[in-house]
């Protein structure tokens, strides 16, 4: 028997199983829920159920959406011939918040990781290949994370694209020194990438 009442322990267990939440934060949230009035808790439960019921994957880009196709895929103001490939909806959201890209997206839902048994068939790579031919895409920007798995995924997709669509322009997002950083504090790998990705200055 635990030191807390059973229903509270169950709630803490459930919350602690969520990504990014440890037992202490889970307990803090559980106690907050306990202190909240019943109407607020019902609203929370309703929101949780609705998100599960209404949110689905866009049939074009596989981003999460409540309409199909999603707002971005339906937006005529966006460049339909440019696709940015990202690993997860969170990555797409980060790019969208930056406002730096006005094309369309394709969400892979993961990265290649043979050690975890994740191969090309587990990602939305086949769908990307079909989409490029169907939607007459001219440019693909591979924006997977600069991790071992993300880099291998980008290389894998780039090779497939080169074989199937040799006329397609394929880019990798630049890797290197972040804005506002100090070179003195950069690690070796970042500096290596920065020098590999050097670009000519336009004067």
Closer residue to other proteins, CB minimum distance, 59 or 148: 148
| Count of residues of this chain found to bind other proteins when the rule CB under 8 A is applied | 26
20 touches other proteins (CB under 8 A): yes
Within 105-144, which residues bind other proteins (CB under 8 A)?
A: 112-117, 119-120
152 touches other proteins (CB under 8 A): yes
Between residue 80 and residue 109, which ones bind other proteins under the rule CB under 8 A? none
Q: Between residues 112 and 137, which has the closer beta carbon with respect to other proteins? A: 112
Q: Can you tell me which of 155, 165, 177, 194 binds other proteins, judged by CB under 8 A?
A: 155
How far from 139 is each of 1, 73, 103, 111, CA to CA, in Å? 60, 16, 10, 21
Burial annotation 45-63 (CB, 10 A radius, 16+ → b, else e): eeeeeeeeeeeebbebbbb
Nearest distance from C-beta of residue 18 to other proteins, angstroms:
10
Residue 21 binds to other proteins (criterion: CB under 8 A) = yes
CB of 53 to other proteins, least distance (A): 27
What does the binding site for other proteins look like in residue numbers (CB under 8 A)?
Answer: 19-23, 25, 112-117, 119-120, 147-149, 151-152, 155-156, 159, 187-190
């Amino acid at each position: 028997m635990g030191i807390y009442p059973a229903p509270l322990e169950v709630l803490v267990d459930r919350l602690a199983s969520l990504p990014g939440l440890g037992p202490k934060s889970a307990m803090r949230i559980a106690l907050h829920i306990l202190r909240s009035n019943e109407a607020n808790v019902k609203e929370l439960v309703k929101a949780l159920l609705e998100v599960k019921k209404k949110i689905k994957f866009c049939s074009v880009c596989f981003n999460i959406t409540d309409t199909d196709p999603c707002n971005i895929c339906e937006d005529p103001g966006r460049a339909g011939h440019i696709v940015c490939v990202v690993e997860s909806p969170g990555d797409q959201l980060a790019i969208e918040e930056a406002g730096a890209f006005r094309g369309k997206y394709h969400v892979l839902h993961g990265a290649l990781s043979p050690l975890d048994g994740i191969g090309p068939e587990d990602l939305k790579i086949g769908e990307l290949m079909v989409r490029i031919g169907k939607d007459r895409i001219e440019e693909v920007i591979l924006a997977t994370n600069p991790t071992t798995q993300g880099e291998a995924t980008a290389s894998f997709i780039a090779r497939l694209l080169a074989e199937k669509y040799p006329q397609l322009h394929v880019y990798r997002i630049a890797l290197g020194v972040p804005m506002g950083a100090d070179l003195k504090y950069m690690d070796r790998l970042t500096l290596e990438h920065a020098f590999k990705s050097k670009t000519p200055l336009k004067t």
